[in-house]
Amino acid sequence: MTVMNRIKVSENFYLREFECKDGSHQVRLHPQLLEKLQQLRNKLKRPVIITSGYRNPAHNARVGGSPTSQHLLGTAADLQVTGVSIHQLALEARQVGFTGIGIYDTFVHVDVRATPASWDHRSG
């Protein structure tokens, strides 16, 4: 991790939480994404775990991400919150104003895209 990524960027988030998970320490973070994530954290009064933030193109391809993924722009994050169901997390994310919401078996994708979109990719 670079020294820069140790910076606290909001009340509850550090830049390192948004780093590409390939070990490169690359990071892009859109201010609106951070603002909405902090609002969600405040609303839930629980830690929000970011399982995937920024992805560089190579890492995005390796994990099977869409070539037009919002993760490439630093405008998306995949989340988990202990003690909050995936369904409830998605509802709360919508209420704080995320415009892209995807529901998966173990996480919720949120983003701040211009055109609203939602999807459910749970296996059950």
- As a whole number, the mean pLDDT across the chain is 96
- Three-class SS of residue 37? helix
Question: Mean per-residue pLDDT for 34-58?
Answer: 98
Fold of 3-120: Muramoyl-pentapeptide Carboxypeptidase; domain 2 (3.30.1380)
Q: Residue 4 and residue 22: Cα distance in Å, rounded?
A: 17
pLDDT digits (tens, 9 = 90+) for 8-45: 999 999 999 999 999 999 999 999 999 999 999 999 99
> pLDDT at residue 1 above 60?
no
Q: Residue 109 and residue 116: Cα distance in Å, rounded?
A: 13
The pTM (predicted TM-score) of the whole model is: 0.94
User: Residues with Cβ < 8 Å from 73, sequence gap 6 or more?
Assistant: 28, 30
99, 116 contact by CB (below 8 A): yes
Q: Residue 108 and residue 4: Cα distance in Å, rounded?
A: 27
User: In terms of C-beta density within 10 A (0-12 exposed, 13-18 middle, 19 or more buried), how is residue 84 classed?
Assistant: middle
> pLDDT at residue 4 above 80?
no
Q: What percent of the chain has pLDDT over 70?
A: 97
